[in-house]
Structure 1
Amino acid sequence: MDEYTPKERLARALKGESVDRMPAISVTQTGTVEQMEACGAFWPEANEDAEKMATLAEAGHKVIGFEAVRVPFDITAEAEFFGCDIKAGTKEQQPSVVGHIVKSMDDIAKLKDYDISKGRVGVVCEAIRILAEKYGNELPIMGSMLGPFSLAQHMNGDDWFMAIMTDEEFGHALMELTTEFNIAYAKKMVENGADTMVIIDPTASAMLIGDEFYQKFVVPAHKKIADAMRELNVATVLHICGDTTPSLPLMESSGVDAISVDQNVDAATACGMVDKAVIIGNLDPVSALWKKTPEEIQKISQDVLDTGVGLLAPGCGIVSKTPNANLQAMVEAAKSHKY
């Protein structure tokens, strides 16, 4: 079988095509304190400065061995872009959304005129440009964004879960805004060099809102993003937190190329629940990758590989205190696996 560049290998793997071996990647956030110390780019500055963001993303490749570079590291830039209050992060902790801005249809109308180059979403796009200029011919350049349902929840607060059930006009209007933003943001990342797009939509779970509302509000939004990326020949990966096992067919119906499942999902079952989508996962980022030894990680990785996953990866974002050696053990397990 032909050998491929990392860029070719991941592109083929995400389409379910044959490759020489498994790519070694993480579709969720990659930054850790040990990588920051190795490259000199630290949170929170690496969340806000394009050069430092690119440097820390590069450390995932140069220090850990991931065969892709990926930004950003947090999921608050989108909400901050629209004006939500953000609690600043630290070297070890990610920023979080603490204030919401949308309560009415009038609030939504006021947010429709925006400039995608502004704020931290602009910083992410610039970091992608920096990485693409350096690695774009060889490595996959992975862009990631908070998905439209979770962005709507950040903007509306906890009222959002009730709003979609009691005021569908409002719910659809806010989802239309966030979905159009996601598409514009994704296109800008692609314009700057991204060739793979990850949708992180943690609260868009059928376990939280039920199949009916997932079908009504989430599937159409994800499908619009996946369709827009397909027109640009960009693969899409969808990650939703929690046990998404029962809703995997619904998730696949949006047309994404791959689904990242978290540690609460039985990976073997997940592989049998989808038709064409590639299943990615799902080492526990806390109890395994952070807490275990490299030798234990090798064994756990093999157990996950034995389930038939298409790509080995963390089940959620990597914990900032995760040792480099543990991530390197996962990477080596992936690199040594032939389908």
Structure 2
Amino acid sequence: MNDTFSPKERLLRTLDKKSVERPPVICPGGMMNAAIVDVMTSTGHTLPDAHGDWQLMSGLASDVKELTGFENIGIPFCMTVEAEALGSQVDFGTLECEPKIQKEVFGSVEAVEYLSPGAVSRSPRAGVVLQSVAELSKRYPDIPVIGSVTGPVSTAASIVDPMTFLKQLRKSRETAHRVMDYVTDQLIDYARLLADNGASVISIADPTATGEILGPRFFDDFAVPYLNKLALAVKELGVPVIIHICGDVNMVKPMLAKLRSDALSVDAMVSLRKLKSELDGVTVMGNVSTYLLEFGEERAVQSATQGLKAAGIDIIAPACGLSTSTPLRNIKALTHTVTDD
């Protein structure tokens, strides 16, 4: 295929609802990153070391782009940068296992201690990400560098014991809102710096903010307003925003139309064709099953991807977080089906 646009132009035009010759195929980083074992073992840029070294992070991000065929660079490779900066303990995992929150710093929303503005951005790991974004955006001017930010609900549930936090959305509503506002302000500062350092798109993944976990009432009360506060602050800089919502969105579908993102990414059980028709004017992204990518045959991956293209899906991407054991051949089957047809 003779492409009309560079990968960066194509993605930005798509997010701006302008015509393109084919959909972009991307993997934004953060929760949805493609730093798989097959890539790392073939290049020597490995995790967990790359979480704390900007040169290793840049090298691995470049490897992912070059080897997988995804038309973007996406960093960081986890969802723990923000919560660690706000006090939680992180287990950085292994080559095969991504970082996770080892212990939330607070037991309840009442116990939260409010750090000064910019606490996330001043953290050492945020510095690694920001330096990597700056270097990669200069090295690859025609490739979109996507800065990935953990969503407000997921960040709050990573600094407060999550089960307690979810109960307190009802029992301590006012204090929970104060925590959400605090967390969102910290995320805004970090996202702005990602954009200032060269990120051409900001991707927000909020896996705790699902209909199944929150239900319609609390999704509308706690997910939508803070996702929008974060998204609108980024969009004011002229930088587009992708929001990913996990799980079955049927029970919160009326609220999805309120989200102020430039594209909406959803999980594999959601029919993107149907969602696109029901949410008129919404740019949709996804949603090749990550189970299929990990365990399926190349031909099945190709078929699923072709189905999304035929349905007019705006941006082709994995449906959710990729397993690190996903075979590279299946990722290439996804990307090449988009770029080579």
Q: Could you state the TM-score of these two structures normalised by the residue count of structure 1?
A: 0.94
- Structure 2 equivalent of residue 146 of structure 1: 150
Residue 120 in 1 paired to residue 125 in 2? Answer: yes
Task: Return the alpha-carbon distance in structure 2 between the equivalents of residues 326 and 22 of structure 1.
Answer: 19
Task: Return the alpha-carbon distance in structure 1 between the equivalents of residues 62 and 304 of structure 2.
Answer: 26
Gaps of 5+ in 2: none
Task: Return the alpha-carbon distance in structure 2 between the equivalents of residues 107 and 52 of structure 1.
Answer: 37
- Structure 2 equivalent of residue 181 of structure 1: 186
Q: How far 1:118 moved relative to its partner?
A: 1.7
Residue 274 in 1 paired to residue 279 in 2? Answer: yes
Preserved CA contact (<8 Å) 1:101 1:107:
no
- Structure 2 equivalent of residue 9 of structure 1: 10
Please give the per-residue CA displacement for 1:210-247, whole angstroms capped at 9, x wherever unaligned: 22221111111111112112111111111121111332
Preserved CA contact (<8 Å) 2:118 2:190:
no
Q: How far 1:203 moved relative to its partner?
A: 0.6
- Structure 2 equivalent of residue 335 of structure 1: 339
Q: 2:242 aligns with which of 234, 237, 241?
A: 237
Preserved CA contact (<8 Å) 1:238 1:259:
yes
Task: Return the alpha-carbon distance in structure 2 between the equivalents of residues 110 and 226 of structure 1.
Answer: 22
- Structure 1 equivalent of residue 98 of structure 2: 94
Residues 23-32 or 179-188, more deviating: 23-32
Q: How far 1:334 moved relative to its partner?
A: 1.6
1:78-93 matches, cutoff 5 A: 78-93=82-97
Task: Return the alpha-carbon distance in structure 2 between the equivalents of residues 98 and 283 of structure 1.
Answer: 30
Q: What amino acid does structure 2 have at the position aligned with 1:14? A: L
Task: Return the alpha-carbon distance in structure 2 between the equivalents of residues 298 and 317 of structure 1.
Answer: 19
1:64-75 matches, cutoff 5 A: 64-75=68-79
Task: Return the alpha-carbon distance in structure 2 between the equivalents of residues 57 and 83 of structure 1.
Answer: 27
Q: How far 1:285 moved relative to its partner?
A: 1.0
Task: Return the alpha-carbon distance in structure 2 between the equivalents of residues 220 and 290 of structure 1.
Answer: 35
- Structure 2 equivalent of residue 52 of structure 1: 56
Task: Return the alpha-carbon distance in structure 1 between the equivalents of residues 85 and 171 of structure 2.
Answer: 27
Number of matched pairs: 335
Secondary structure in structure 1 of the residue aligned to 2:248: coil
Secondary structure in structure 2 of the residue aligned to 1:142: strand
Secondary structure in structure 2 of the residue aligned to 1:290: helix
Q: How far 1:48 moved relative to its partner?
A: 1.8
1:135-174 matches, cutoff 5 A: 135=140, 137-157=141-161, 158-174=163-179
- Structure 2 equivalent of residue 31 of structure 1: 35
Q: How far 1:31 moved relative to its partner?
A: 0.7
Please give the per-residue CA displacement for 1:1-22, whole angstroms capped at 9, x wherever unaligned: 9811111100011222100222
Q: How far 1:104 moved relative to its partner?
A: 5.3
Secondary structure in structure 1 of the residue aligned to 2:130: helix
Gaps of 5+ in 1: none
Q: How far 1:87 moved relative to its partner?
A: 2.0
Preserved CA contact (<8 Å) 1:237 1:260:
yes
* Identical pairs, percent: 31
Task: Return the alpha-carbon distance in structure 2 between the equivalents of residues 185 and 5 of structure 1.
Answer: 27
Residues 101-110 or 34-43, more deviating: 101-110
Q: How far 1:51 moved relative to its partner?
A: 1.0
Preserved CA contact (<8 Å) 1:21 1:336:
no
Q: How far 1:251 moved relative to its partner?
A: 2.6
Q: Could you state the TM-score of these two structures normalised by the residue count of structure 2?
A: 0.93
Please give the per-residue CA displacement for 1:52-86, whole angstroms capped at 9, x wherever unaligned: 11111111221112111110111111111111122
Task: Return the alpha-carbon distance in structure 1 between the equivalents of residues 153 and 26 of structure 2.
Answer: 26
Q: How far 1:177 moved relative to its partner?
A: 0.9
Please give the per-residue CA displacement for 1:251-276, whole angstroms capped at 9, x wherever unaligned: 33121011111112122222223122
Task: Return the alpha-carbon distance in structure 2 between the equivalents of residues 208 and 144 of structure 1.
Answer: 22
Please give the per-residue CA displacement for 1:154-205, whole angstroms capped at 9, x wherever unaligned: 1111111111111111111100111001100100101110010110100111
Task: Return the alpha-carbon distance in structure 1 between the equivalents of residues 167 and 305 of structure 2.
Answer: 39
Secondary structure in structure 2 of the residue aligned to 1:237: strand
